Amino acid sequence: MPGLKWKVYRVFNYILLACSSIIFLFLVRLLFTSTEPDFDSITLLLGFLFLAIIVSCLINITIMSKTFPDKLLNRNQNRWHIFSIILNAAAFAGLFYALISLLKYVGNYDRGDAGGLVVMAAILIILLVLLVFIFVCQLVVKKYLRSKSDVALSSMIDSIGKEN
């Protein structure tokens, strides 16, 4: 049975998947309804960013469902895991840049005019925190699975020859 950290990891992946999917669909809608070319390129870049988060979360959830609590990653799963780490790192960098840009933009507004921008900044901060937690867990998941696999294998070997 996985510990609390891994249960939170799974829940955060589902939350991030849901939030990113909603934002991605919203950005796709904006892309098709916008008439400004500059806005289209920014929307497209943010859309790819949230699509990367969606793919990363789906990979993480799939790997967890096939390996936890005590199976090792096979070669194919390991490749997908590394790809997910790269996507997560790129998404973090993109969201962090978007947050910094948004905060610079908020600083130019009066307090009454920047309410929506502050809400967007808060959403980005929450998504960044979720991404950091997931990224840290991604970096140690192979070690965790290896240790749990060794324990399961040892207990199986120890149980051979014991009488009930």
Considering only residues 56 and 113, tell me which one the structure prediction assigns the higher pLDDT.
56
The residue to which tokens 């799963």 are assigned:
77
Q: Enumerate the H helices of the chain as residue ranges.
A: 4-33, 37-67, 75-107, 115-159
| 135-150 tens-digit pLDDT | 998 888 777 666 655 5
Q: Which residues contact 110 (CB under 8 A, 6 or more apart)?
A: none
Q: What is the pTM of this model?
A: 0.77
pLDDT of the residue at 149: 55
Residue 102 has pLDDT above 60, yes or no: yes
Average pLDDT over residues 99-127: 75
pLDDT of the residue at 154: 55
How far is C-alpha 100 from the geometric centre of its chain's CA atoms? Answer: 20
Q: Report domain extents, the chain.
A: 4-147
25 token code pair:
């669909």
pLDDT of the residue at 139: 85
Q: Which residues contact 3 (CB under 8 A, 6 or more apart)?
A: none
How far is C-alpha 32 from the geometric centre of its chain's CA atoms? Answer: 26
Considering only residues 72 and 49, tell me which one the structure prediction assigns the higher pLDDT.
49
pLDDT confidence band for 69 (50 / 70 / 90) = low
